[in-house]
Structure formats: structure tokens, C-alpha cells
């Protein structure tokens, strides 16, 4: 008989504590504590206890001898009463259920107890010397297998969603290995798990048994069904029996492993044939499972602490690298994938406003940016972790093989800068312990093969969950990064303060020097002039010397003026008004024409857009650029100088082009420095400050300037100024 789909759906709500029946390897009766009269009994009483126990009467014979002890126990707070019925070679166990006492009898163990104790002692010793959880589990499986004689003993571990995995196994080869196989949570439904958390042991000696009814099925006084949650002989769910038969197992026993009050897993035993384990041995198995549980608890704590230490070491190595690298991004997202070990991820990506750095296995950039947009929209802080991304963010379904689990930390309050770690779908990372499809011939829906598929379906698009230690490590790294970035920003601010300070000092110095030098130079020029007027007798050579002194003083004076001008520019405030650039350029060209009447220059001046800024300073820009063009075309017979401009978007471009001696683009960077010249000073007059001044003025207008040139083919200077509307710097 196969269960129908309805049976399977009903499975999760099957009331397994009140089956109104027991398994036939023992018998059960219910005593009324008021007078110790039997009020309910299993239909097989007689075949186990003969006439000793009958409905509606007090027990007789050997059992009657124990009534006083039962009555004493009943008033105590012990959960169970246990004794031997030596005459019938049975073990008798009593427990309370509702207001009644449930008494069960089953065949006693013929084995001497000494043997069992010896084996428990040896187990305790062996367990204490196991270095880690896997070896503790192996040791326990082996001991239970030896103690009980089952064909195969598994340790079945629950994950956070109650799916199961076989994590240890001991067997004699009669049953196939299930090591590493996974099973869906429904294979041990919630109500069964809840029961197993309080009643830690159950046994099914023969999966083909015929249930024995309890008569009457309900308590005659209250009408309530009899709760068999703590009974040894409770008849189990028929669906589960069907599962067992499909698995090729004729008998089973399972013991709960309770770690820190939570059902951690089961020691699950199976045999091909019927197999009854006596009560005393079952008790030993329970003792063994609880010893194992304590061991697991201690080792989990140790492992958690060790993994925190290990992850903290990764954090500090990353910190060291971030601090020593020029760019912290390089230190963090290095090629050695250290970043992945921070949370044991398979991939990670660091996204800042200027960098996109994938490490390991990550989705493509568009997908990552999609995740970031979604994360930024959620506005739920700077940390997000999930092991089923597609459930929260549907587009992730298409890359679940790379990113079913993510931990995302936001590393900037202002910008959408994120560090995200990825884990793949767990189905893709599972270790296959043999092909589950080959285990048993398929029959019906409850079958290990079908279970495995069901598990696969259940964990689709899910990653293995992030451990608390890993989440903590991610948070820790976040504050580390924020710290490093902040510190780097502070360092930068400090450097720029420093620069500003030394700049100011320099300016103050050059201001005072140039200011003080002006008068002496003017005096030299003045007195040289006077001397020439007075001394008519000077010979030609002396006249020439005098002229040279005067010329040198004039040009030194001009240099000083320029320097003064330059240093003043750093301090002066600049006005910001519409400036008629046509007018400025025309004035400058007119001045040039007047002072270079001897030259043949072909001028071409286009229409210029209105600028926004300081007219006096901008005139200086035009003057210096045009003056330059005139100067560096002086070797040309026919000089060509063109001036133009246009508006591009929200910035204004202006240029001055000439056909002069040009320059080598290799040195373009030096062009705008103070006292930098690309030509020999003797060949072209000037102080070497002109272009530095131009750049400074343009800079102070939040604009920029660039130069293009080629040796002997002329030069072109273009400067860009922001329009009144533009917020940022204008780039030429």
C-alpha cells in the first residue's frame, strides 16, 4: 500500500502523539492513581502478561508487588519508574500522562549489565580524546553500531531550515552508504521534531508490524485520547513506515542529540531485518548521545572562537595592506583573494565612485550594479546579509549559481559605495556521496531518491548560511575600511593645509622681496639716465656700458613688477561679472599693433562669447597670451595670429593661435610654471612669469588652460571658463 498525496500532505499535521495504538513487541496499560485500577490497556496484554493485568481491576501477581513503589514514585518528581519483572523476564517502565500512569512492559535484556558499563566507560574515554566534531561524530556512530548491532548507524544533522545531512556513518555493509546525502525538512516533520526534542529516543523494531489498539482508545473519565508522547511502544506514523520500507530498512531507532537545548541532530540506526534493542541498551545510547551533545557544544564554542580569531587575523592583514597601499582599494581587493577569506565567500566585489574591483566568482558588472541599486533603495542601514537573495530580489534568480548568498556592507554614507561578498547556490557546492538515484528501486513519492530531489528543490537559489562569526567579521571589516578611508582623508586634508600654509608664506616672501626691490631698480634706471645726461664726454664704450646697466635694470624692474603682480593674485579677491571678451581682446590687439608697428602680423579675431569673471584679470590673460604669440612669431616674416572663442555646453572656450616657433609637447607640463621657458631667454624677451600668471588667473576663475604646439609649427593656447550656471570646474 502506497500513501496517497493527501496522506503526504496530512503527514505534517498527523497527530503522532495520540495514535491509540502501540507496537506489538510489548504491552501497555493505564492505571488510575486514585485506586490503581487499570482503565485502558493494549489488546495484546494477555500474550505478554497472562492474567496479571485486566481492565477495570487492580494488577495482580508480581506487578501487584510493585504498586506501593509505583505509588511512592508517583508522588516524587522523577519522570520514570523502572523495574524488572523477573518471573516473566520483562522490563517494566511507568510514566505519567495526563492524570494517569502509563505502564509498559517489554522483553528484558539477557545481557549482563557489566558488559554495557564497560563499553560505556571505553566510549567516554575515546570521546574525550577526539580533536574535533567530525571525529567525535564518527566515534559515536561506531560505538552505537557496536552496542546495538544495527546494520548502519548515521549521524543526521539539521541545518538552520531543518533540512538534514548525513554527517557520519558506521555500518557493516548490509545497507548502502548515505554519507553526505541531504534530505528535505519534511522527511522529519515539525511535530515529530518537537516531540523528539523532549522524548529523546524511539524505536521501530519491525517496520512491518501490525499496530495493537488500546482499548478503550480514550480515557473513560475525561474522554481525552491517550497521549503516548513519552511511551516506549508508541505506534509510529504509517507514512514513515512506508518510507522505511522504501529505503530497504526493516527496523530503526533514533536518538536525539540536544545541543544547548536545541535539536541538533539524530543518531539514526537502521537494519535490513527486524531488530529489537532492549531498553537498557537504549538508555545507554541516550546517555552516549547526550555525552556527544556536550562534546559538540564545547567543540562548537571552541571552533566559533577559533574561527573568530582566524577571521580577525584576516581583518588585520587587510588593514595592514590597506594602510600601506597608496590606494586602500588595491590593498583590499588584492589578487590573492584574501578578501574572500574574511567571510569564507566564493566571490566579492568592491564598488566605489571611482573603482569597480571584482575578486573570485562574481556576477557580471550590470548584475552587481543592479544589486547595489536595490540595496541602496532599501535604506536599511549599512549591512545586509541573506542566504536566499532571489527571494528578496527576484532578478538574482538568473545568477543564483554565483550569488545566492550575499553579505553587503556600505562603506560610505554619502556615496553608493559597497563591498559585497557572494556565495553560490548550495546545490552547486554539495559534496556528492555517491549517486542517490541508484540507492533503491523507485516506488512512490516517499523514497530517498525522491527525497533527494525534494531537498534539491527546497534549497534552490539558497546558499549555505552565513555564520555569526562571519557576519561579525564583515561588520568588523566595515569599520576598519571606514577608519582607513577617514584616516587617508584626514592625511590628505593635513597635507593640503600644510601646502596652503607654505604657499602663503612663499607669497608673503615674494611680495615683500619684490615690493622692496622695485625702488632700488627704479633708482638705478633713474641715476643711469642722469649720468648719461651729465657726462657728455663719455666715450662710446662707456656709453654702451651705461645703456646696458639701464636696460638690465629696466628688465629686472619689470620682472619684479610681474612677480609682485603674481603674488598679489593669490590673495586678491576676484569679482564675478559678465565680461565683454570682444572688447578686451580688441583692446589688447590694438596695443600690440601700436607697439609692434615694424612687424608684419596678420590678425584674425573671431566673435567671442561673454565671460563671467574679473575684467581686469581677464585682460591680463589676453594680454599675456597675445604678447606671447607676438613674441614667438618674431622670427616669422609673416606672422599669423588668430583669436577665437565659442560656447560649449555650460562652458566658454577661448583660444590664441600663432604660427611661431612652437614648442615640444614633451615639455608641455613645464610651460605654465614660474620662470619656466622652453626657449632660450636671450632669443625672446620676457620674464618667464607670463604663462604662470595666466594659469593662476584662469584657475581662480575655476577654469583651466591647455597648450598645444609643435616645434616650428606654432602654438595654440585654449582656456575654458565656466558659465554663470555651471557648478564645477570648466575643463579646456
Instruction: Pick the closer one to ligand JQ2 by CB: 81 or 243.
Output: 243
- As measured in angstroms, the least distance from the Cβ of 173 to ligand JQ2 is 16
- As measured in angstroms, the least distance from the Cβ of 239 to ligand JQ2 is 5
Q: How many angstroms separate the CA atoms of 709 and 716, rounded?
A: 6
* List of residues 6+ apart from 685 with CB closer than 8 A: 555, 631
- As measured in angstroms, the least distance from the Cβ of 387 to ligand JQ2 is 23
Q: What is the 3-state secondary structure (H, E, C) of 678-711?
A: CCCCCCCCCCCCHHHHHHHHHHHCCCEEEEEEEC
Instruction: Pick the closer one to ligand JQ2 by CB: 252 or 567.
Output: 252
- Cell 613645464 belongs to which residue? 670
Q: How many angstroms separate the CA atoms of 182 and 184, rounded?
A: 7
**Are 317 and 466 a contacting pair, CB within 8 Å?**
no
- As measured in angstroms, the least distance from the Cβ of 102 to ligand JQ2 is 17
Q: How many angstroms separate the CA atoms of 562 and 696, rounded?
A: 13
Mark out the alpha helices in 535-610 (DSSP H runs).
Answer: 540-571, 581-595
Instruction: Pick the closer one to ligand JQ2 by CB: 283 or 708.
Output: 283
**Are 67 and 36 a contacting pair, CB within 8 Å?**
yes
Q: What is the 3-state secondary structure (H, E, C) of 232-294?
A: CCECCCHHHHHHHHHCCCCEEEEEEEEECCEEEEEEEEEECCCCCCCHHHHHHHHHHHHHHHH
Instruction: Pick the closer one to ligand JQ2 by CB: 278 or 424.
Output: 278
- As measured in angstroms, the least distance from the Cβ of 230 to ligand JQ2 is 12
* Residues at the contact surface with ligand JQ2, assessed by CB under 6 A: 8, 11-12, 14, 16, 154, 156, 178, 183, 186-189, 192, 202, 204, 236-237, 239-240, 243, 252, 254, 266, 268, 446, 451
- As measured in angstroms, the least distance from the Cβ of 313 to ligand JQ2 is 38
Number of other residues whose CB lies within 10 A of the CB of residue 425: 24
Q: How many angstroms separate the CA atoms of 154 and 169, rounded?
A: 4
- As measured in angstroms, the least distance from the Cβ of 309 to ligand JQ2 is 35
Instruction: Pick the closer one to ligand JQ2 by CB: 243 or 632.
Output: 243
Instruction: Pick the closer one to ligand JQ2 by CB: 17 or 384.
Output: 17
* List of residues 6+ apart from 552 with CB closer than 8 A: none
> CA torsion 616→620→622→623, rounded to 10°?
130
Instruction: Pick the closer one to ligand JQ2 by CB: 189 or 347.
Output: 189
- As measured in angstroms, the least distance from the Cβ of 87 to ligand JQ2 is 32
Instruction: Pick the closer one to ligand JQ2 by CB: 243 or 655.
Output: 243
In a 10 Å sphere around its CB, with 0-12 CB exposed, 13-18 middle and 19+ buried, how is residue 420 labelled? Answer: buried
- As measured in angstroms, the least distance from the Cβ of 61 to ligand JQ2 is 33
| 3-class DSSP state of 623 | helix
Instruction: Pick the closer one to ligand JQ2 by CB: 262 or 577.
Output: 262
Q: How many angstroms separate the CA atoms of 417 and 410, rounded?
A: 6
Amino acid at each position: 500500500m502506497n500513501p496517497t498525496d493527501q496522506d503526504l500532505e496530512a503527514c505534517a499535521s498527523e497527530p503522532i502523539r495520540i495514535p491509540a495504538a502501540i507496537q506489538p513487541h510489548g504491552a501497555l496499560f493505564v492505571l488510575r492513581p486514585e485506586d490503581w485500577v487499570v482503565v485502558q490497556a493494549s489488546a495484546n496484554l494477555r500474550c505478554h502478561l497472562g492474567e496479571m493485568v485486566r481492565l477495570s481491576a487492580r494488577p495482580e501477581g508480581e506487578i501487584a508487588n510493585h504498586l506501593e513503589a509505583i505509588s511512592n514514585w508517583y508522588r516524587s518528581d522523577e519522570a520514570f519508574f523502572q523495574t524488572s519483572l523477573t518471573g516473566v523476564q520483562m522490563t517494566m517502565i511507568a510514566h505519567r500522562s495526563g492524570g494517569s500512569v502509563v505502564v509498559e512492559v517489554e522483553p528484558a535484556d539477557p545481557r549482563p549489565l557489566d558488559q554495557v558499563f564497560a563499553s560505556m566507560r571505553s566510549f567516554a574515554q575515546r570521546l574525550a580524546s577526539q580533536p574535533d566534531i567530525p571525529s567525535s561524530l564518527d566515534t559515536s556512530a561506531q560505538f552505537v553500531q557496536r552496542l546495538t548491532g544495527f546494520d548502519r548507524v548515521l549521524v543526521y544533522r539539521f541545518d538552520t531550515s531543518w533540512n538534514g545531512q548525513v554527517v557520519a556513518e558506521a555500518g557493516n555493509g548490509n545497507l548502502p552508504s548515505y554519507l553526505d546525502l541531504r534530505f528535505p525538512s519534511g522527511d522529519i516533520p515539525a511535530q515529530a521534531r518537537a516531540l523528539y526534542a523532549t522524548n529523546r529516543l524511539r524505536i521501530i523494531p519491525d517496520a512491518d508490524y501490525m499496530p495493537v489498539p488500546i482499548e478503550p482508545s480514550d480515557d473513560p473519565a475525561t474522554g481525552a485520547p491517550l497521549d503516548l508522547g513519552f511511551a516506549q511502544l508508541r505506534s509510529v506514523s504509517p507514512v514513515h513506515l512506508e518510507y522505511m520500507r522504501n529505503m530497504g530498512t526493516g527496523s530503526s531507532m533514533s536518538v536525539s542529540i540536544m545541543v544547548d537545548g536545541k535539536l541538533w541532530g539524530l543518531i539514526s540506526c537502521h537494519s535490513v531485518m527486524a531488530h529489537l534493542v532492549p531498553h537498557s541498551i537504549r538508555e545507554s545510547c541516550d546517555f552516549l548521545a547526550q555525552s556527544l551533545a556536550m562534546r559538540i557544544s564545547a567543540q562548537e564554542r571552541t571552533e566559533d572562537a577559533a574561527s573568530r580569531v582566524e577571521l580577525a587575523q584576516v581583518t588585520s592583514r587587510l588593514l595592514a595592506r590597506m594602510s600601506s597601499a597608496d590606494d586602500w582599494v588595491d590593498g583590499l581587493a588584492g589578487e590573492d583573494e584574501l578578501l574572500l577569506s574574511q567571510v569564507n565567500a566564493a566571490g566579492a566585489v568592491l564598488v566605489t565612485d571611482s573603482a569597480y574591483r571584482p575578486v573570485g566568482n562574481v556576477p557580471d558588472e550590470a548584475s552587481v550594479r543592479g544589486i547595489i541599486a536595490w540595496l541602496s533603495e532599501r535604506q536599511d542601514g549599512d549591512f545586509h546579509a541573506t542566504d536566499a537573495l532571489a527571494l528578496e530580489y527576484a532578478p538574482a534568480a538568473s545568477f543564483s549559481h554565483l550569488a545566492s548568498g550575499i553579505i553587503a556592507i556600505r562603506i560610505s554614507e554619502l556615496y553608493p559605495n559597497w563591498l559585497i561578498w557572494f556565495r553560490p547556490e548550495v546545490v552547486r557546492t554539495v559534496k556528492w556521496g555517491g549517486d542517490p538515484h541508484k540507492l533503491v528501486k523507485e516506488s512512490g513519492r516517499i523514497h530517498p531518491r525522491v527525497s533527494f530531489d525534494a531537498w534539491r528543490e527546497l534549497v534552490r537559489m539558497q546558499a549555505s548560511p552565513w555564520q555569526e562569526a562571519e557576519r561579525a567579521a564583515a561588520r568588523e571589516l566595515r569599520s576598519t575600511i571606514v577608519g582607513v578611508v577617514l584616516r587617508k582623508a584626514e592625511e590628505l586634508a593635513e597635507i593640503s593645509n600644510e601646502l596652503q600654509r607654505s604657499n602663503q608664506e612663499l607669497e608673503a616672501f615674494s611680495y615683500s622681496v619684490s615690493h622692496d626691490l622695485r625702488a632700488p631698480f627704479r633708482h638705478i634706471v633713474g641715476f643711469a639716465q642722469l649720468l648719461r645726461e651729465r657726462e657728455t664726454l663719455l666715450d662710446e664704450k662707456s656709453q654702451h656700458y651705461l645703456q646696458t646697466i639701464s636696460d638690465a635694470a629696466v628688465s629686472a624692474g619689470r620682472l619684479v613688477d610681474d612677480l609682485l603682480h603674481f603674488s598679489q593674485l593669490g590673495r586678491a579677491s576676484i569679482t564675478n561679472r559678465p565680461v565683454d571678451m570682444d572688447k578686451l581682446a580688441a583692446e589688447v590687439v590694438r596695443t600690440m599693433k601700436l607697439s609692434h608697428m615694424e612687424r608684419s602680423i596678420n590678425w584674425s579675431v573671431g566673435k567671442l562669447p561673454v565671460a563671467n569673471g574679473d575684467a581686469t584679470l581677464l585682460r591680463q590673460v589676453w594680454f599675456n597670451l597675445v604678447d606671447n604669440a607676438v613674441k614667438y612669431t618674431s622670427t616669422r616674416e609673416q606672422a599669423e595670429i588668430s583669436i577665437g572663442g565659442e560656447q560649449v555646453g555650460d562652458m566658454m572656450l577661448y583660444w590664441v593661435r600663432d604660427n611661431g616657433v612652437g614648442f615640444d609637447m614633451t615639455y608641455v607640463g613645464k610651460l605654465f610654471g614660474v620662470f619656466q621657458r622652453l626657449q632660450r631667454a636671450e632669443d625672446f624677451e620676457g620674464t618667464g612669469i607670463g604663462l604662470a600668471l595666466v594659469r593662476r588667473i584662469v584657475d581662480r576663475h575655476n577654469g583651466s588652460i591647455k597648450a598645444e604646439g609643435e616645434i616650428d609649427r606654432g602654438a595654440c593656447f585654449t582656456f575654458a571658463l565656466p558659465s554663470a550656471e555651471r557648478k564645477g570646474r570648466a575643463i579646456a
